[in-house]
Chain A
Amino acid sequence: MSTTQYQRAGQLRGTGDGLNPYALTTPQKLMVFVLSMALFGLSNIILEIIPDVTIGPFDFSIAYFVFVPLTMAALFSPFWVALGAPLGEIIFTDLLMGDFSGLAEIEGFIQMFLAIFIAGSVIRNPRNRAQIALGALLIVFIDKLLSAAVDLSKVWIGVEDAEYVEGLPESMLLLEGVGFGIDLIISGFLFGILPALWLVPALHGRIEPLMGMRPRVAGEPIPGQGKSSGPFVGAVVLLAVASFFFAFLEAWDVSVGAWEPELLEQFGMGFLWVSVAAIVVLVAVALVLFRAAQKKDARTPTHTTGV
């Protein structure tokens, strides 16, 4: 049989490339999601083992290994990494190690989701060192800024007339500000930029084939954001806005709380519902996106039948 030239004998039924070559298929998205969940979860478990170094009110420990989600966001898809990584943190370190804290987890999830998604989208070229460095700083910057904002609003809402209490606003600002700076240096620079500058190029072109993907090339559309057209981008923007909104409402949510008669008169019952709506929007959009992606994949082969 080896002597004759090989020719296909069966009828060609589908070519399988009805998809945009830059887009990820559903299994690929799921792979990226699971991978980022597993790896960021693991990196957080390792940090659990390392003892925290606190001097007075200041925590000098590593908040997270920023280079882990950043590497995946740069190489694969910012969106699916942004969904998977914070979930991995919550499940691996908090839920499974018995340290789950309820609503605060949602708060953390949204902060991290936004941080990774935005930072990952900034990296258009995984070989560009400046973009990688910017991405690493952005993750810590966005996440920690939001969490500082949440902390401050908790005090502002939780304490009656907090702004009139002598010394309280200043001291809170001081503590949060210094903590922010420390995180930026330790988590953002030492455990963000430096390792990422090594790891992203080292893995680029090596890890993608293991997962059946094409390596990203500078200038091509980013798979997470996908095709630069239509409802997809719209949905992503909507999600970003919704979650930004929610992140701040989360501070309020906590806030759902500041139910003083004056406050209600000022804002009306409306803002309670807005915060509930924001949660619903966020979850719904994520669901719709995932399902839409699935349906598209499921349809593709039948469409191309008989081509």
Chain B
Amino acid sequence: MARKTRDVISVEWIKLELMRAAYATRGGTFSRMDPRMVLLWYAVMAIVPWFTHNLTVLAGLFLLNAVAVILARVGPLLLFLFVFGIGMEAIYILAAAWLFGGDLGTLYALSELTLKLGAISMASMAAFVSLDPEKLSDALLALRAPALLAFAVSYGYRMLPILVEEFNTVFDNYRLRSAPPRRAGFLGVNHLYRWVRMAILSFYPIFLNTALSVRTTVEALETRGLTYATVDDRGRRIRLGYLKVRPLDILVLTVSILLVVAVFVTGQLWPIFRTDLLG
């Protein structure tokens, strides 16, 4: 088999993914909002579905979050994976339940669960696709999350390409310097074994090299006031100074809450419960 260049599994790929995360904002509604308000919106939407077993309400919430997903301009691939995943999950449980003597009631029970979990997943998709990691960590910082968390995010940003590149290099070294298997074995099992072994062995030098570089990083952090900032609050306030609640935030939150209330009211008027369906 001739070798070809593929565009995955490379440092460039990781960098691209990172850029995409950084510019995650596809320009949807939520990306223009204050990140704290987006979190609040998510919290409401993620918790509300647990308050009811009413299928009418759940279906309404499901629709509501589906609209949010569209407003957030979630990519089609992500949507497909979501729908596929949630569908397969339900099918597996259903199949297993039938084995144990389930019936139509099981199907209804599962549809309740699917509606619930689906609504919550969509809320998280809509919210977090719109927040780049820096904004999200600022929002968490504003909600009094430990400063280490915010640091961890920016450090991850910075280090991820470097670490992946380093791993790539060490792995390539093993690839070149260890012996390829003489025979491929059943389904290429010898190759699989070699690759797994190399991936694990690569961690020995990676551990040592990373330990060396972390030493400089932590020392530099000290000179640049990371620990000082955990004692003195001014830095945090400056960092979060740009966060501001605007009319759009209030509008989105109000409309969402009103719609949720409307869904619950509708549910009260035309309730459907699992037990009703079974007659």
Contact = CB atoms under 8 A, between A and B. Distances in A.
Contact of A98 (B21, B101, B200, B208): B21
B199 A102 contact: no
A31 B226 CA distance: 13
B88 to A, nearest CB: 8
Contact of B47 (A174, A257, A291): A257
Interface residues of B, number: 81
Interface in A1-30: 26-27, 30
Contacts of B112: 158-160
B242 interface: no
B7 to A, nearest CB: 13
B105 interface: yes
A166 B157 CA distance: 48
Contacts of B203: 39, 43, 65, 67-68, 195, 199
B157 A96 contact: yes
Nearest to B163: A42
Contact of B146 (A43, A157, A290): A290
B188 to A, nearest CB: 14
A98 B24 contact: yes
A15 B158 CA distance: 37
A103 B218 contact: no
A127 interface: no
Interface stretch (A86-94, A220-228, A231-239): A86-94
Interface stretch (A111-119, A134-142, A207-215, A240-248): A207-215
A264 B149 CA distance: 35
Main secondary structure of the interface of A (DSSP, over half): helix
Contacts of A174: 96, 100
Nearest to A252: B50
B17 A98 contact: yes
Interface string B240-275: 000000000000000000000000000000000111
A91 B163 CA distance: 14
Given A158-B50, A260-B53, A210 B92 contact: no
Contacts of A67: 200, 203
Given A101-B124, A157-B50, A96 B221 contact: no
Residue from the set B49, B103, B113, B207 with the largest chain A CB neighbour count within 10 Å = B207
B232 interface: no
B227 interface: yes
Contact of A159 (B92, B95, B109): B109
B9 A96 contact: no
Interface string B53-82: 100000000000000000000000000000
B100 A294 contact: no
A175 B156 contact: no
A90 to B, nearest CB: 9
Interface in B134-178: 136, 144-146, 148-149, 152-153, 155-157, 159-160, 163-164, 167
Interface string B110-150: 10110011000101100111000100100000001110110
Nearest to A174: B96
A57 B93 CA distance: 8
Contacts of B98: 167
Contact of A166 (B97, B155, B210, B275): B97
B190 interface: no
A51 B117 CA distance: 25
Interface in A142-187: 154-155, 157-160, 162, 165-168, 170-172, 174-175
Nearest to A57: B92
A34 B152 CA distance: 8
A199 B47 CA distance: 43
A274 interface: no
Given A155-B113, A158-B116, A291-B230, A167 B219 contact: no
A280 to B, nearest CB: 10
Given A98-B20, A160-B53, A27 B105 contact: no
B92 A42 contact: no
A199 B14 CA distance: 27
Contacts of B21: 95-98
B113 A45 contact: no
A256 interface: yes
Contacts of A87: 148-149, 152
Q: Lowest 5 CB-CB distances: which A-B pairs, in order?
A: A257-B50, A167-B102, A171-B96, A57-B92, A167-B97
8 contacts: A42-B167, A71-B207, A98-B129, A159-B113, A160-B275, A166-B106, A168-B102, A212-B215
Interface of B: 8-9, 14, 17-18, 20-21, 24, 42, 46-47, 49-51, 53, 88, 92-93, 95-103, 105-106, 109-110, 112-113, 116-117, 121, 123-124, 127-129, 133, 136, 144-146, 148-149, 152-153, 155-157, 159-160, 163-164, 167, 199-200, 203-204, 206-208, 210-212, 214-215, 217-219, 221-222, 227, 230-231, 273-275
Given A158-B50, A294-B231, 17 more contacts: A33-B148, A41-B163, A57-B96, A87-B152, A88-B152, A91-B152, A92-B160, A98-B20, A158-B112, A158-B117, A168-B97, A170-B97, A171-B93, A172-B96, A195-B200, A254-B50, A257-B50
